[in-house]
Structure 1
């Protein structure tokens, strides 16, 4: 009897081990996997939404995926969304659900072993499915021009505005669509085509809008045929820029050293502009290290410069905006500063002072010959005429008059004989 009891005990232990053997990996691997979820939501009411869950290994884990996929099961909670289809293949489960009311609905999923409801899940995850009453889609604006700034386009060139409906289940394949376009500059248009072309004539920031209306016929069990309608409003912001077609440089081409040069640059394009300028002996393109960058927020810019050395110079300007770039050159010839008469005023005044002092000294020394014109005085007048004549004489007649006054009468050829009375 004891042997029979021991046999049944061993047999029960074998069955338990056989039952728990396939569940071992699930217990060991619990927490080492993730569920990757994907969906094509958001969607309009009545359209099908597809949600897929795939079992993947967590990051930094070397554990391989289970080989026998039949040992695991996916469990979904999607209420109040209505389930329309479910498939499982290669550790991936996909469901299709439909929403009958607008809102954000949570969907959860987890994976367990097939025959172990009490075991800890290998992985679990969740997401939110948006169901909208309106249409779902995007307004896409394109132009056959490469622009570096986001949402930036070129004026006076055709823009393509297209509405892309999001309908992965082809729910609206039998619907009729109408589109009301508002281009943001006062222009409106109504079409039955989801694509339109438009040219903006001026630069600026605009908001393009489109109202989409979808209508289709549906047979209702209790009311017969009826017309159903869905609408949606969509918009996109765009910035229109003018191409930088060129620039004009206004300024003198002939200067003197130490004079202030002022130049005005007029740009034929939309700001903001990145302007780079440099000064070189020849008109050659600038390298980056020779560039003086300036940010210009208007269509004109003033630049001042002072030349300290004479010579031939060339200003090089390079400007670019979000669409295009241009460059321009401006030659300037710099001459030395001209000599002015006042440069000699101080030396002449000093020389005159010295000669006057010398003349007074000689006059006092030769008091007996006061009527005779001293050579020093003559030299003084001559020097004054040479050094300062150009400063004080207005006409040749004045000069001749001074010369005439400075030359005294010629002395007599003979001296009178003295007579004595007895």
Structure 2
């Protein structure tokens, strides 16, 4: 019994030494089979699995004629994250602790004895290489919301959403008066490629609001809510203040213009009790300072129209000697 055990152990060690040099091929003389990966979860996406959950990796040999029923098999596993092992069993269980895409590689060596035509016993061997690609994801365990709970109207609000788990494929949010779950098609989804997302919004009306947020990746989805109270702003925005200031300035300018105009008309009435007659007189009185080149010309016209004023020059008599 002990001799049989030592003989079997010796053959296993010999096969293990031959694994690195065993040729890899796909021809019919090599082993044929499938590498199957399963997990105790029902995910609708192929080749997607959860981290921190046990995976079952098994090799299914295709040998319908049971030709290799007496063969000794040795399996060399490489899980793609630095872990390697050699087993005699075609089934192993493994647990990935990090997210990412990994390739599981398996090298299988089968050995058996055959009786040759000359009645001698010879050792025969077949090998095969198999692989499977795995995408490890984490479920979305929740959404952490970092943002204010009290804000004023017309004040820009920024919230940071931290997703606990694998990055979501889409994020959807909607502002509601109450914290209620989002229905399908109720909001427009936004693509996200990281575990953080900044959300900005400006409130125009005061009141109580609730942000309803939904995030989902290829294996899970989660919801979160954030209540916020909006108070009226004490300072009106500049977009309303500027038109008001412009309107007030125009009104003040109009009032000043009307006041100066009335004062000028009253002064003219005191100095000129009789209104001027004729179009030429009106033009000369109203527009004279602007049409004449010098003030003396304007005063000359005024003195001609008003006989009470002395002339600007006196007549000079000339004598001839």
**Which of residues 273, 279, 295 is equivalent to 2:191?**
295
The residue correspondences of 1:61-72 to structure 2 (distance < 5 A) are none
Q: CA deviation at 1:345?
A: 7.8
How far apart in 2 are the matches of 1:300 and 1:339? Answer: 33
Q: Secondary structure at the match of 1:132?
A: coil
Residue 242 of structure 1 is matched in structure 2 by 138
Residue 186 of structure 1 is matched in structure 2 by 82
Residue 145 of structure 1 is matched in structure 2 by 41
Which stretch shifts more, 327-336 or 343-352? 343-352
Residue 147 of structure 2 is matched in structure 1 by 251
Residue 74 of structure 1 is matched in structure 2 by none
How far apart in 2 are the matches of 1:233 and 1:223? Answer: 32
How far apart in 1 are the matches of 2:124 and 2:245? Answer: 102
Residue 128 of structure 2 is matched in structure 1 by 232
Q: Secondary structure at the match of 2:43?
A: coil
Root mean square deviation, CA, Å: 2.8
Residue 163 of structure 1 is matched in structure 2 by 59
How far apart in 2 are the matches of 1:135 and 1:339? Answer: 80
Q: CA deviation at 1:353?
A: 11
Residue 100 of structure 2 is matched in structure 1 by 204
Residue 73 of structure 1 is matched in structure 2 by none
Q: CA deviation at 1:181?
A: 0.2
- Stretches of 4+ aligned residues off by more than 3 angstroms: 342-355
CA offset digits 1:373-397 (Å, max 9, x no partner): xxxxxxxxxxxxxxxxxxxxxxxxx
Residue 206 of structure 2 is matched in structure 1 by 310
Q: CA deviation at 1:131?
A: 6.0
The residue correspondences of 1:296-375 to structure 2 (distance < 5 A) are 296-339=192-235
Asked if the contact 2:103/2:131 (under 8 Å) is kept, the reply is yes
Q: CA deviation at 1:161?
A: 0.3
**Which of residues 267, 292, 313 is equivalent to 2:163?**
267
Q: CA deviation at 1:233?
A: 0.4
How far apart in 2 are the matches of 1:230 and 1:213? Answer: 6
**Which of residues 192, 213, 217 is equivalent to 2:109?**
213
Q: CA deviation at 1:287?
A: 1.8
Q: CA deviation at 1:349?
A: 11
How many residues are paired up?
Answer: 233
How far apart in 2 are the matches of 1:246 and 1:228? Answer: 56
Residue 303 of structure 2 is matched in structure 1 by none
Structure 2 CA distance for partners of 1:287 and 1:223, relative to 1, 3 Å: same
Higher normalized contact order (CA 8 Å, seq sep 6+, divided by chain length): 2
Q: Under a length normalisation based on structure 2, what TM-score does the superposition of the two structures give?
A: 0.66
Q: Counting strand residues as a fraction of each chain, which structure ranks higher?
A: 1
Which stretch shifts more, 233-242 or 288-297? 288-297
CA offset digits 1:10-64 (Å, max 9, x no partner): xxxxxxxxxxxxxxxxxxxxxxxxxxxxxxxxxxxxxxxxxxxxxxxxxxxxxxx
How far apart in 2 are the matches of 1:187 and 1:168? Answer: 32
CA offset digits 1:103-126 (Å, max 9, x no partner): 9xxxxxxxxxxxxxxxxxxxxxxx
Matched, 1:281 2:177: yes
Q: CA deviation at 1:280?
A: 0.6
How far apart in 2 are the matches of 1:205 and 1:349? Answer: 70
Structure 2 CA distance for partners of 1:315 and 1:143, relative to 1, 3 Å: same
How far apart in 1 are the matches of 2:176 and 2:95? Answer: 42
Structure 2 CA distance for partners of 1:185 and 1:131, relative to 1, 3 Å: closer
- Gapped regions of structure 2 (runs ≥ 5): 1-24, 267-321
Q: Secondary structure at the match of 1:209?
A: strand
Q: CA deviation at 1:289?
A: 3.6
Q: CA deviation at 1:275?
A: 1.6
Asked if the contact 2:108/2:129 (under 8 Å) is kept, the reply is yes
Structure 2 CA distance for partners of 1:308 and 1:144, relative to 1, 3 Å: same
- Gapped regions of structure 1 (runs ≥ 5): 1-102, 104-129, 366-422
Residue 154 of structure 1 is matched in structure 2 by 50
Q: CA deviation at 1:328?
A: 0.3
Q: CA deviation at 1:174?
A: 0.4
Q: CA deviation at 1:321?
A: 1.3
